Amino acid sequence: MGQYLEQYKQSLDQPENFWAKAAEAIDWDQTWSNVLDDSQAPQYRWFAGAKLNTCYNAIDRHVANGRADQAALIYDSPVTGTKKTYSYQELLNEVSKLAGVLSSLGVTKGDRVLVYMPMIPEGVMAMLACARIGAIHSVVFGGFAANELATRINDAKPDVILSASCGIEGSRVIKYKPLLDGAIELSDHKPAYTVILQRPQEQAEMQDGRDVDWATAIANSTPVDCVSVDATDPLYILYTSGTTGQPKGVVRDNGGHAVAMMWTMKYLYNIEPGEVFWAASDIGWVVGHSYICYGPLLNGSTTVIFEGKPVGTPDPGAFWRVISEHKVASLFTAPTALRAIRKEDPDCLHLKKYDISCMRALFLAGERCDPDTLFWAQDNLQIPVVDHWWQTETGWAIASNCLGLEEFPVKPGSPTKPVPGYDVRFLGDAGEAVAAGEMGAIAIKLPLPPGTFPTLWQNEQRFRSSYLETFEGYYETGDAGYQDEDGYVYIMGRTDDVINVAGHRLSTGAMEEVIASHPDVAECAVIGVADNLKGQSPIGFAVLQSGAHRNDDDVAKELIALIREKIGPVAAFKVATVVKRLPKTRSGKILRGTMRSMADGVEHKVPATIDDPTTLGEITNNLKALGYPKSA
């Protein structure tokens, strides 16, 4: 039996023994009475009765154990021309002073602090400072619109908001303070204080009595020590979009989270203490929480905060420069970042300028990685490229190639196998198991492992109705897919991205794989739209490679023929269109649901996370030209 199978079986057969052993990597103030408390099932709790402090485990213990002078955090900002490295000792000094500022403003254990920050070191420091005093942080992506920020303020009810005067998106300066002021004005809950970091690119106007200058407050601060909290106490709230338009506050606890983060750094990412790990995400997203802030620091590794883009800051070689300069051992990014690089530099000429021999693996998540992008990365990087699947709710990977356990051959389109701790099942509509190779709803048998979410913030009923009631005894992921004979998992899209064409259940993800294989296509999306005759029918949208000077109609015809060849007439794929860009969230997810609503002519809300609302205009025009919505 291989190491993966041995660990996977133990994690399911003896979860308490498995996670108790993993918990030995964390420093506890008090040990647990129960590894797994199932007294309130299906609401499970890990390490009940234990006490710890997450900030202590992420910083203080490394300073005490000989890592004081090691780099903890590298800040690289091509948009401001700034590079700065903080040692563990320097990070401890800054975090304990910021924790002192929060304490002086009356923040105590269990209070909420909202963090509305750009990609700068102070954003990570804000999270750790909250953890240090037992406060619950809620990071909101910097630059979120005022009304969306207001809904989060109303739900979390923060006593203090930590923010900055601005963020920088490429060459644009985004003024944060007017957005923050507008959100506070809109919200019913009013925070007592905001602490504002004035950046050189923009000076924010301050309001007497409420707004506190960050630099002045730090200069006058008395550093504070860590506060011991229960393992089951919340560490943070992270809001994820809800189908009702009201965001869901995913809760992460302290104990299970610390244990899971440590375990994954070693066994999933194969990263040793002292090595550099770079998650090219944003602290406003779950990846930023897990693997910019907490995972690498808990592990005693070095993390990178990059204030830039994969292209345009200044060119498609930005990622390769960072890897080369800072000796990054592993990069974690989204497939959309690779597609952006590939679109601008298909032959990887910029890559050839840098020595990235330090890099051992590339990890991809956030959306399905199409085989074409996978092959391109493998061919050019010549290292393992690991597509892994996880969710905001889980906080870490559900399925992956666990490089620290046993490296499996890659199968294009698959994030490999379930990660230890996750009992992944594929179910039919009635909750019955489906056969290998057959499409089903993906569910995880309870209990979920440590580090996942125990509930939604102050909304237990919504937690149960959203995730636990469709299949009794299971967490419903909302994703659909299948498992092959070798145990490899395939995620074919959200449950509602599996379309029913004349009684045939078809995956739009499979169609996207075919379209992406066309040599002129940089990226694509397929949606299912309402069809009076067939129930649903697919429409394909394609963005062409830079330099692909082709007639759009010719390409569309070729895509239709390609689907017919690779999937067959059963797909009923007869409509394709070429667009300049696809509408995406700031984290790179394509807004397929919004596009589907536009095509069906149903009322829809444009997500607050949209990167560029103007992209929807082109989609609207193309849909009109194709005769959608049909009811119009």
Residue spans per domain, the chain: 3-308+388-481, 511-626
Alpha carbon distance 182, 149 (integer Å): 9
Q: Are 248 and 242 a contacting pair, CB within 8 Å?
A: yes
pLDDT recorded at residue 504: 64
Amino acid found at 489? V
pLDDT at 611: 81
CA distance 443 to 450: 17
pLDDT at 267: 98
Q: Which CATH architecture has domain 511-626?
A: 2-Layer Sandwich (3.30)
pLDDT for position 64: 98
With bands split at pLDDT 50, 70 and 90, how would you rate the model's confidence at 497? Answer: low
- Say what the pLDDT of residue 241 is: 66
Write down the pLDDT at residue 82: 97
pLDDT tens-digit readout, 77-122: 999 999 999 999 999 999 999 999 999 999 999 999 999 999 999 9
Question: In the block, which residue shows the tokens 């995730």?
Answer: 467
Summary mean pLDDT of the chain: 93
Of 318-332, 452-466, 598-612, the one with minimum mean pLDDT is 598-612
The mean pLDDT value for 323-351 works out to 94
The DSSP call for residue 414 is -
Looking at the predicted structure, is the pLDDT value of residue 341 above 80?
Answer: yes
pLDDT exceeding 90 applies to what percent of the chain?
A: 80
pLDDT for 607 beyond 90: no
Query: Three-state DSSP class for 245?
Result: coil
Residue 418 backbone class (left: φ over 0; alpha: ψ -120 to 50; beta: rest) = beta
**Contact 598/620 with Cβ under 8 angstroms?**
yes
CB 593 within 8 A of CB 241: no
Predicted confidence (pLDDT) at residue 506 exceeds the cutoff of 80: no
Rounded to an integer, the average pLDDT of 529-549 is: 87
Distance (Å, whole) CA 597 – CA 576: 17
In sequence order, the 6+-apart residues with CB closer than 8 A to the CB of 626 are 539, 575, 577
Mean pLDDT confidence for 316-344: 95
| pLDDT tens-digit map of 459-494 | 999 999 999 999 999 999 998 899 999 999 998 777
* pLDDT tens-digit series, residues 56-77: 999 999 999 999 999 999 999 9
Most confident range (mean pLDDT) of 36-40, 529-533, 564-568 is 36-40
Q: Which long-range contacts (CB under 8 A, 24 or more apart) does 500-503 make?
A: 500/528, 500/535, 500/536, 501/528, 501/531, 501/534, 501/535, 501/536, 501/537, 501/538, 501/570, 501/571, 501/572, 502/533, 502/534, 502/535, 502/572, 503/535
Q: Which residue from 391, 55, 467, 466 is spatially nearest to 236, judged by alpha carbons?
A: 55
Predicted pLDDT of residue 440: 92
pLDDT in tens, 200-248: 999 999 999 999 999 999 999 999 999 999 999 999 999 986 544 577 9
Length of the chain in terms of residues written: 632
What pairing do the DSSP bridges indicate for beta strands 361-364 and 328-333?
parallel
* pLDDT above 90 for 613: no
Q: pLDDT value at position 13?
A: 98
The pLDDT, as a whole number, for residue 630 is: 80
- pLDDT on residue 632: 46
Specify whether domain 3-308+388-481 bears CATH 2.40.50.460. Answer: no
Query: Are the C-beta atoms of 406 and 423 separated by less than 8 Å?
Result: no
Q: Which residue has the higher pLDDT, 429 or 12?
A: 12
The yes-or-no verdict on residue 495 having pLDDT over 90 is: no
pLDDT for residue 502: 61
Is the confidence at residue 609, as pLDDT, over 80? no
Check if 3-308+388-481 and 511-626 are the same fold: no
The pair of structure tokens assigned to 236 is 């943070």
State the pLDDT at residue 245: 55
Q: Write down the pLDDT at residue 568.
A: 72
503 pLDDT above the threshold of 80: no
State the average pLDDT over residues 308-337: 96
Q: Which one has a higher pLDDT value, 263 or 145?
A: 263
| Lowest pLDDT segment from 175-179, 530-534, 618-622 | 530-534
